[in-house]
Amino acid sequence: MADKKQPTVVADKEPKAKKSLLFIILGVVVVLLAVKVFLDHREKQELEAFYQTELEAARGKLDKIEAELTRKITEIDSLGGSIVDLLAMQEQITAERNQLQRTRKANRQLIARLRRKTDGYEELLREKDKEIIKLKEINAALANENTTLKVETNKLNRSLVELNQDKQKLEEKVSIASRLKAEDLKIYAITKSGKEKTGKVLKNRQLAKLKVTFTIGKNDVAPLEAKEIMIRLIDENGQVIFDVNRGSGSFMLDGKETFYTASQDILFDNSGQQLAFIYEKGTPYDPGTYTLEVYTDGYRMGATSFTVK
């Protein structure tokens, strides 16, 4: 009788052991998940605290730059130098500080932008230190003016002109460097059925609509701001395809009113964003070679050409 009951006891113990092991495993998993949630939360708090610290540091840096800028405006003005660009910079810093006052949470993009801004301000202030030195030299020379000092003054004046010219060249280089470029320009013919055909040669019977696509190249120098992007379709005779009822208009280019075929407003975010224009002319295109130009802010971003048969 004893031999027959023993297997029943072992069978009862095995499920209990399995259940205990299962509870232990579940308990460990719950603990690990709780630890992960805790660590993730703490890491997020530490990152937010770091960004906030960087934001406060940027505010303090802007305060120092503004104080230094005020001193330089006073000094350069007393020496007879031009302070127009410094006053403009002062307004820009004030606007930047006002925007920061409304900023509650910082992030990596904001911190990077502030660093670029403050680095640029500091670079301009260093250039102004050179100008102050030159202005002081000029004023000292004028105070003791004689024949010899007149020659020296002329040299100093030339140095100041060269310095201003170098500064102007630097500003022009920065302006050119901040220009956006239209990359990978492509032309498509859209048929009445909606099919797209691309290439340098398009057939007129397929041109119910014209599609233009391109990518705005990344540019860390260019400010992140709203942009009006315009395209110009120009035929072989130099005439712009223009129809106000289809979104055409004009803009100023090199001081002259210039017509565009179509436009759209975007927010440039330096993400390599892709734009697409779809233009319906309404009448057949004359056979020939057409030029497609892309513009914004009074400069050309890119161009390509295609032929209609």
| DSSP secondary structure letters along 248-303 | -EEEEETTEEEEESEEEEEE--SS--EEEEEE--SSPPPSEEEEEEEEETTEEEEE
Given a cut of 90, whether residue 216 has pLDDT beyond it is: yes
What DSSP character marks residue 239?
P
Q: Name the pLDDT band for 207 (thresholds 50, 70, 90).
A: very high
Q: Quick one: which of 304, 273, 287, 280 has its CA closest to 199?
A: 304
Residues paired with residue 252 on neighbouring β-strands, in sequence order: 257
Q: What is the pLDDT of residue 160?
A: 67
CB 214 within 8 A of CB 231: no
Given a cut of 90, whether residue 4 has pLDDT beyond it is: no
Helix (H) or strand (E) holding 162: helix 147-177
Tell me which of 211 and 169 has the higher pLDDT: 211
Q: What is the pLDDT of residue 1?
A: 44
Q: How do residues 228-277 score in pLDDT, each as one tens digit?
A: 999 999 999 999 999 999 999 999 999 999 999 999 999 999 999 999 99
Tell me which of 61 and 149 has the higher pLDDT: 61
Q: Name the pLDDT band for 20 (thresholds 50, 70, 90).
A: confident
Q: Positive or negative CA dihedral for 282, 288, 289, 295?
A: negative
Q: What is the pLDDT of residue 138?
A: 83
Q: Name the pLDDT band for 71 (thresholds 50, 70, 90).
A: confident
Q: What is the pLDDT of residue 212?
A: 97
Tokens, residue 89: 């910079």
Tell me which of 264 and 57 has the higher pLDDT: 264
CA-to-CA distance for 174 and 171, rounded, in angstroms? 5
Helix (H, G, I), strand (E, B) or coil at 185: strand
What DSSP character marks residue 59?
H
Mean pLDDT of 111-120: 78
CB 51 within 8 A of CB 108: yes
CA-to-CA distance for 196 and 198, rounded, in angstroms? 7
Given a cut of 60, whether residue 44 has pLDDT beyond it is: no
Q: What is the pLDDT of residue 2?
A: 47
Least confident window among 84-98, 178-192, 195-209, 215-229 = 84-98
> The whole model's pTM is what?
0.46
Instruction: Look over the chain and give the mean of its residue pLDDT values, rounded to a whole number.
Output: 81
> Quick one: three-class SS letters along 84-151?
HHHHHHHHHHHHHHHHHHCCCCCCHHHHHHHHHHHHHHHHHHHHHHHHHHHHHHHHHHHHCCCHHHHH
Tokens, residue 283: 């009448």
CA-to-CA distance for 246 and 261, rounded, in angstroms? 8
CA-to-CA distance for 128 and 116, rounded, in angstroms? 19
C-alpha dist (Å) from residue 163 to 44, 153, 160, 219: 49, 15, 5, 28
Mean pLDDT of 138-159: 72
Domains of the chain: 44-177 (no CATH), 182-308 (2.60.40.2550)
Tell me which of 243 and 91 has the higher pLDDT: 243
CB 81 within 8 A of CB 137: no
Q: Name the pLDDT band for 225 (thresholds 50, 70, 90).
A: very high
Tell me which of 173 and 238 has the higher pLDDT: 238
Q: Name the pLDDT band for 26 (thresholds 50, 70, 90).
A: confident
Least confident window among 120-134, 138-152, 245-259, 273-287 = 138-152
Q: What is the pLDDT of residue 42?
A: 58
* Neighbouring C-beta atoms of residue 116, cutoff 10 Å: 13
CB 92 within 8 A of CB 36: no
